[in-house]
Amino acid sequence: MTTTEEVVYVRLTGGPRERGHTQGEALRPLIAIGMQRWKEAIAAATGMDPGSYLERFVAGTDFLPAIERWTPGLLEEVRGVAEGANLLFRDVFAYQLMDEEWLFRVAQMRSVQGAHHCSVIGLAAEGETTILAQNMDLPKHYDGTQTLLHIEQEDGLEALVFTAAGLIGTCGLNSAGVGLCVNTLSQLSHSTSGLPVAFVARGVLERCTVDEAAGFVRSVSHASGQNYAIGGPDGMVDLECSASKAVSFMPDSGWIYHTNHPLTNDDLPSQDENAMDVVFSGSPKAEEARPRGKSNSEQRFEFLAERLGSGKEGLTVEAAQALLSSCETPISVSRESKGSSMTLGSLVMELSVPPVLHLAAGPPAETPYRRWVF
């Protein structure tokens, strides 16, 4: 384990349980800090004792069968994290379910604290290196626990995964040049028995081609509405996923740019499923309740579309970094922002073989990018 700038780097080897145990043991103090802040945020948002709330959350959902079916190794990794960190498996497992816990909290508690705002851009142009990039915006209680996992699988495939200490991953790339960026699409239908986002993300990074990764995303049942932008040396695909659908999105220009509202997937929850359609920005009910202006997601999407233009100019690492560092909309959300979220990290990926990761472990307008290679 080493600390560089504002990110902790941890190299994980061996089988899934061993890799998880290594992370849990190496990051034990940082995981404890992050989980304590998370529980304090839960208590503030719900008015409940965090332990009672997490018991209710785990009992009220059924994600384990899907995880055991599609990503059993990752479940073992989570068990290893709990063992290495000397924490309850229930708590560490629930900690992985970032989007799913948030959806549960909204549906059960009518609380919308901690909404996620992520911005993704990418371009796969013929004869040029595929560039895929994103700002990962998350609740501020994760700040200070930024972690880069260097995972070395037993089959030889490696991955660099950006995350918070104790989580198995949010986004990243692997040594085959496959990269992944994600956006929450909370408006779409969800399932309490689908595969959670963190497990889908890591499952993508266990594939060696864009086609294999996209096939995996299309094959699973999804727990949460999420956009998965997948790139590699062989191209790029963007999939808006809900409980019942995985729908491709690709602008005519050939660019990928996405924020936090669905553009092609129309699988919205029915009113009697939950009350979430009245609170999520971008949903019809939310727009009816907003007499003027556009949602944060729509503003960021229009900003990206305008700045990226036709796509004929190509996309450089420097241009991607400059765009993601913009505070105009804002794309880069400061630690000092009034809201509960911030840009926890910014990733720009050169998806060649070998690939290159440029990572700012904080708002890129405030944090320098560092270059990482396998």
- pLDDT > 80? residue 333: yes
Phi-psi region of 235 (alpha: psi -120 to 50; beta: other; left: phi over 0): left
Asked if 210 contacts 178 with a C-beta cutoff of 8 angstroms, the reply is yes
**Averaged pLDDT, 297-306:** 92
Model pLDDT for residues 214-248, shown as the tens digit of each residue: 999 999 999 999 999 999 998 999 999 999 999 99
Model pLDDT for residues 92-123, shown as the tens digit of each residue: 999 999 999 999 988 776 555 445 679 999 98
In this prediction, residue 127 carries a pLDDT of: 81
Tokens of 105: 């909290």
Amino acid letter, 148? L
What angle in degrees, to the nearest 10, is found between the helix axes of 197-204 and 210-219? 150
Tokens of 207: 């594939």
Write the DSSP string, 166-219.
Answer: T-S-SEEEETTS-EEEEEE-TTS---TTSB-HHHHHHHHTT-SSHHHHHHHHHH
In this prediction, residue 169 carries a pLDDT of: 97
d(C-alpha 42, C-alpha 182), whole Å:
23
Residue 3's DSSP bridge partners are 8
88 CB-near residues (< 8 Å, 6+ apart): 82
In this prediction, residue 250 carries a pLDDT of: 80
In this prediction, residue 124 carries a pLDDT of: 83
**What is the greatest pairwise CA distance in the chain?**
56
Strand order in the sheet with 370-372: 255-258, 119-123, 131-139, 341-350, 356-360, 370-372
> Can you identify the CATH homologous superfamily of domain 119-372?
Penicillin V Acylase; Chain A (3.60.60.10)
- pLDDT > 80? residue 283: no
In this prediction, residue 370 carries a pLDDT of: 97
**Averaged pLDDT, 169-180:** 98
What angle in degrees, to the nearest 10, is found between the helix axes of 16-26 and 28-46? 80
In this prediction, residue 277 carries a pLDDT of: 37
d(C-alpha 106, C-alpha 8), whole Å:
32
Number of CB atoms found within 10 A of residue 23's CB: 29
Asked if 49 contacts 32 with a C-beta cutoff of 8 angstroms, the reply is no
Structural domain boundaries of the chain?
14-109, 119-372
Residue 160's DSSP bridge partners are 150, 173
- pLDDT > 70? residue 252: no
In this prediction, residue 126 carries a pLDDT of: 76
d(C-alpha 262, C-alpha 183), whole Å:
10
d(C-alpha 67, C-alpha 372), whole Å:
30
In this prediction, residue 310 carries a pLDDT of: 55
